[in-house]
Structure 1
């Protein structure tokens, strides 16, 4: 049986191929690869509003399935955890990154898009709706369908948007994700041709040395907090989470890790009702690992270009991502694709060389971000289960 090559090795091969082509191939071959990359970028911009509509509408509409108070608490904790993770990532990045991304590095890199080759030809392909319209439509429809479902209606609309989400997921898995190595190869061929690739790669590997340990530290913080609330040993909780973490590293999908993660929650003593409600829900709304990665990489790209990376710039971006990436962890690469339209909030264009750098940075460590997402899901499940038991005791006392 032929063994399939994973996405991360393909992306690394794409980066290497791009550097080799940009260094040694004739200008025409680089232009051909850049043209393919540009056409892919145009298609990606066309699809992004549909990604938002498909993921966010179905994700919000699906919240109708939970019991009122539990749903509100779980959603609130998940969003709070995501925002806190983003703020911690910003604090760490803005503290540590200047030690290896100083003004001299920014000056030597300059504008990564300067000196790049243009595509031989382009196809005019504009998105059917802009990103702002997509996010407003998704929230309106998602909340509306959720309200209808709470009143025994709206199942037809819910099914339509679920199936629409399946089409979007299929587009991601069969077109966008497989073609990403070509897109990345085109970007790196162009950056290499412009003479800036080694300065950029010299920053990349150091960023990873900060981001991946930060995922693990935040997982430890989440389980320490859950242990403090529930009175359980955090080390034992973390040990029981290892199978879920490793499964997520292998699958790069929160959704695909749900069965193993439910078992981890069971081993941590989470009741059947809560683990079967909380783990699947958090797999679609909790993004602590993803937001650590996206925030860190955004700060790195801003620093590399001598742009503003203050808290005033980054905070609105973090707050928006906590909402806009709802349901994105269900698909490999979904988080960064959902984040792309909001990069202009921090001054990074949503297409072109800088966006390509963000995608390359994110996807080569996506496994670890996803593993951090799902591990945090079980920390939330522990807290929700503890709160539910407390509320049940109070209700029983009142009834008595």
Structure 2
């Protein structure tokens, strides 16, 4: 009996990524030197995503605003509301997990003197505001997505008064760049293969054993947000079963973000996922880049858990009002965390300052954060990035339901 043609079909992208993951693990175990060598593939993949993402955001936002029809709803406000609710709720969950499973650290790790954490919430917010008025060329080079959103929106509003041909040319440019993005995303299996092989070959997982409980609290809180808190928020918005959407986003966006460890690098992946889900382009073209900057549930958990680990280690008593204040500070600070690997760790000294913990001790906690970052930062980015699409899709589906009902 002839074999089914389906047996020989090319597997989907997610299946190819899983194959790359397994192949990377096998190569690192069999030959660590070869595993380190193929790390170049991962570097090329992440670099390609980071290179194309800023241009994509600038052009896509400008095209969306320029071609927007007056009176048409974009759904940005409700998405922003969900970003805020989700980040604060994640911080509260991180605080609760830290009190349920208090962690004590060995603070003999050397402080990282070269790092410069912000001095307070005011400095974080000031930096965010200044990013809006950044030079557009510098914003492209530095990957400043707040600045790119501002410039894209400004160009879009200005081009609303341009000729139809000009606006169509801008839309065609956005389509061309989107095509390039899809081409880069097709390289994800090779990229994941290189990243996994090099990480396991160079650092291994043995260094994480001493911090098993800390990692358990961090990853456990993130899983709770992804599989319990986010579905509850989606259900409250859509009144539908949230798990098909949540699991799709974790599979299509979370897996890639787990390995790239950069919300900014995962912007093209999320935009493509939104397109596949049939969401409103005028909403997701703005909401996704914005979410990569301010929707930081995983970062809020990291800041809360690691700060309270230092508190428990030093035996500092914490009352309920202070714990709630920490949640707010962690949520606000997370919004200022950069969309690059380890961005949330530099906000830990800010949160530790609430309890009078010195910068010297706080930076030792940051150093521990970098040690566990092999897993923590990957899980954090997967939660941050997949949640962007979850919330945008929830709002888009609610608006679609209301339109069909009306």
Please list, as runs of the form range in 1=range in 2, the aligned pairs for 1:210-359 lying within 5 A after superposition: 210-215=221-226, 216-224=228-236, 226=237, 237-239=239-241, 243-252=244-253, 261=277, 284=288, 287=291, 291-297=296-302, 314-320=330-336, 338-340=339-341, 342-343=343-344, 346=347, 356-358=374-376
- Of 160, 178, 182, 1:150 maps to 160
Select which of 163, 168, 177 maps to 1:164. 177
- Distance of aligned partners of 1:98 and 1:196 in 2 relative to their CA distance in 1, 3 Å threshold: farther
Q: Aligned pair in 2 of structure 1 residues 80, 276: CA closer, same or farther (>3 Å)?
A: closer
Distance 1:319 1:66, change over 3 A: farther
Q: Which residue of 2 aligns with 1:184?
A: 196
- Between the aligned partners of 2:98 and 2:389, the Cα distance in structure 1 is 27
Q: Which residue of 2 aligns with 1:360?
A: 378
Question: Structure 2 CA distance, aligned partners of 1:164 and 1:382?
Answer: 26
Q: Is the 8 Å Cα contact of residues 244 and 374 (structure 1) preserved in structure 2?
A: no
- Helix, strand or coil for the counterpart of 1:192? coil
**Structure 2: distance between partners of 1:16 and 1:298:** 34
Deviations 1:135-167 (A, max 9, x none): 276235412331134224553345435533543
1:7 to 1:260, Cα distance in 2 relative to 1, 3 A: closer
Cα deviation for residue 81 of structure 1 reads 1.2
Deviation at 1:205, TM superposition (A): 5.0
CA displacement 1:103-140 (0-9 Å, x = unmatched):
33x549x4799xxxxxxxxxxxxxx9687744276235
Q: Does 1:377 align with 2:389?
A: no
TM-score using structure 1 length:
0.58
**Who is 1:333 aligned against?**
none
Distance 1:285 1:387 in 2: 26
Residues 24 and 196, structure 2, Cα contact 8 Å, conserved in 1: yes
Counterparts in 2 of 1:214 and 1:49: CA distance versus 1, 3 Å = closer
CA–CA separation in structure 1 for the residues paired with 2:64 and 2:377: 29
1:1-150 to 2 correspondences below 5 Å: 1-2=7-8, 4=11, 5-8=15-18, 10-11=20-21, 14=24, 18=28, 20=29, 29-30=32-33, 33-34=35-36, 36-37=38-39, 39=40, 43=44, 47=48, 50-64=51-65, 65-68=67-70, 70-71=72-73, 74-97=75-98, 99-100=100-101, 102-104=103-105, 107=107, 110=109, 133-135=142-144, 138-139=148-149, 141-150=151-160
1:265-294 Cα distance to aligned partner (Å, 9 max, x none): xxxxxxxxxx75777668746859973345
Shift of 1:317: 4.7
Deviation string 1:201-235 (CA, Å, 9 cap, x unpaired) is: 554455443323323323323432x3xxxxxxx6x
Q: Structure 1 residue 96: deviation in Å?
A: 0.8
SS in 2 for 1:103: coil
After TM superposition, give the deviation of residue 34 of structure 1 in Å: 4.1
Cα distance change of structure 1 residues 355 and 373 upon mapping to structure 2, 3 Å threshold: same
How far apart, CA to CA, are the structure 2 residues paired with 1:60 and 1:277? Answer: 10
Q: Equivalents in 2 of 1:9, 1:302: separation in Å?
A: 37
Instruction: Please give the alpha-carbon distance, in whole angstroms, between the structure 1 residues aligned to 2:394 and 2:57.
Output: 24
RMSD of aligned alpha carbons:
5.1
Whole-angstrom distance in 2 between the partners of 1:280 and 1:138: 15
Partner SS state of residue 76, structure 1: helix
* Contact 1:291–1:318 under 8 Å retained in 2: yes
Are residues 170 and 86 of structure 1, via their aligned partners in 2, closer, same or farther at CA, if it must alter by over 3 Å?
farther
C-alpha distance in 1 between matches for 2:52 and 2:181: 6
Cα offset, 1:355, TM superposition: 5.8
Unaligned 5+ segments in structure 1 are 114-127, 227-233, 263-274, 325-337, 393-400
Specify whether residues 166 and 90 from structure 1 end up closer, same or farther in structure 2 by C-alpha distance, changes over 3 A only: farther
